Structure 1
Amino acid sequence: MKSLILVAVILQLVIIGIKTDGKYQFGDIIEFPRACMEGMPTFSHYAVYVGPESGVNVSQGDNDIFHRLDWKGREDVCEFGKLDETRRKSIDEKKNYLEDEIPAGERTPDKIKKRIREMQNKEKCGNYTYLSNSCEHLVTYVRYGIRRSLQKGTRFGCILPLAKNAKVEEIKKYEEVLKSIDILQKQNNNTENDKGPCSNDAHKEVSGWPVLSACLALCCLLSGSCGF
């Protein structure tokens, strides 16, 4: 009976023209936890799985993800990349978290492919901002047609609810906090970490971490949105 079910699943994937790598299918959102502090990710990077073997051609070549980065002078580039290189030592997982909110008709392979091609344009991709045009905003748009960033389960996620209705001056302050943390985590090499979603992706302690951690903790307390 199990063999028949497996055959049926394989046939279904062939019929709709989408192959799988065993973990992800074309259009899946992938979360990569980053920079653990005391067992909690500071933020998460996001990408859309396209897979060189997905059966859907979006000119990805031998790349298997589509995402955006905010460093090395590429703040307005949405591009294909490598899953293995992007995961580093963190434990990546599928996070299609708007399935119940967005109709299935909005996340068909054709629509996802169309949005990927659209966002390859630098003007459409736009300049990276943490609060309104980040890697998570990109992947939710590609999969669902709407832009959303929640950063669930991370310290950045504590700031986002506060910044949503903040004034321009306050938003700039939040952006500076996020940018400072981002810069610090990129300046330090990976070190061994014991458990959790960002296993082995923690970073060496530097003098700025305690201050920034306290700042994030204060933001969480003010918002009442998360605990430590």
Structure 2
Amino acid sequence: MKSFILVAVILQLVIIGIKTDGKYQFGDIIEFPGKLYSHYAVYVGPESGVNVSQGDNDIFHRRGTKGKRYICEFGKLDETRGKSNDKKRNYLDDDKEYPAENRTPDKIKERIQEKNEECRKYNLLKNNCEHLATYVRYGVSVSLQKGRIAQIVVKPIHLTKQVADKIKNIWRSSNDINNTLCASDAHKQVSWWPVLSACLALCCLLSGSCDF
């Protein structure tokens, strides 16, 4: 009897292993490589123990349209895989700008529910399948299409957005400093003229246009 139970348990584990491919955990980004571009999805297998109303589906992704409605939906890994060699692509896990606390199962679950209710219109440069997958895992939409021809188009957009975000952060920090100075009346003791003069003098010297 014990031997029978042991065989049954092992068989069940083997079946689960086949179903999940033994590669993915809840929240993993899956890449399905293509020649021009890669399709991306997030693994949500029901055997992961996290319930996001996925039923017996094991991935969440952006998938075409139904009529005029742009959708993000649950789907089947095997059906989406086709003949492609899918792989795990959590490529921002080691980036300090995307901390681990932003990708807990609870937060990933919240973002899946958010996008399942409102996916918004598809946009190659701003709202594609990779944007969805990275948003669900990290809380930030990113599309790089590494190694694909589409990278030529999307990477410059990503870099431009990064520069714009950094400029915004610098501007906000500057405003915070000014607000703090004003709040403490310290602005009465601070003059920006010496700083401006120094900058103008430096530019003058570097350009070689100074007459003194």
Give the shorter-chain TM-score range: 0.5 to 0.7
1:82 aligns to 2:76 (yes or no): yes
1:61-87 alpha-carbon deviations (Å, 9 max, x no partner): 000000002345365211100000001
Q: Check conservation: 1:75, 1:128, Cα contact below 8 A.
A: no
1:143 aligns to 2:145 (yes or no): no
The residue number in structure 2 matching 1:131 is: 125
Unaligned residue ranges in structure 2 (runs of 5+): 1-19, 162-212
Paired residue for 2:101, among 80, 102, 105? 105
Q: Using the alignment, how far apart are the partners of 2:110 and 2:124 within structure 1? A: 24
Q: Check conservation: 1:21, 1:51, Cα contact below 8 A.
A: no
1:117 aligns to 2:109 (yes or no): no
Aligned length: 139
Q: Check conservation: 1:52, 1:61, Cα contact below 8 A.
A: yes
**Paired-residue identity, %:** 65
The residue number in structure 2 matching 1:155 is: 149
1:163-183 alpha-carbon deviations (Å, 9 max, x no partner): 5559xxxxxxxxxxxxxxxxx
Q: Which has the larger radius of gyration?
A: 2
Which is helix-richer, 1 or 2?
A: 2
The residue number in structure 2 matching 1:30 is: 30
Q: Check conservation: 2:121, 2:127, Cα contact below 8 A.
A: yes
Give, in angstroms, the shift of residue 116 of structure 1: 0.4
Q: CA RMSD in A?
A: 1.8
Q: Which protein has greater RCO, CA pairs closer than 8 Å, 6+ apart? A: 1
TM-score between both structures, scaled by the size of structure 1: 0.58
Q: Using the alignment, how far apart are the partners of 1:163 and 1:54 within structure 2? A: 35
The residue number in structure 2 matching 1:6 is: none
Q: Using the alignment, how far apart are the partners of 1:85 and 1:158 within structure 2? A: 28
Change in 2 beyond 3 A, CA 1:128/1:89? same
Q: Check conservation: 2:70, 2:122, Cα contact below 8 A.
A: yes
Give, in angstroms, the shift of residue 158 of structure 1: 1.1
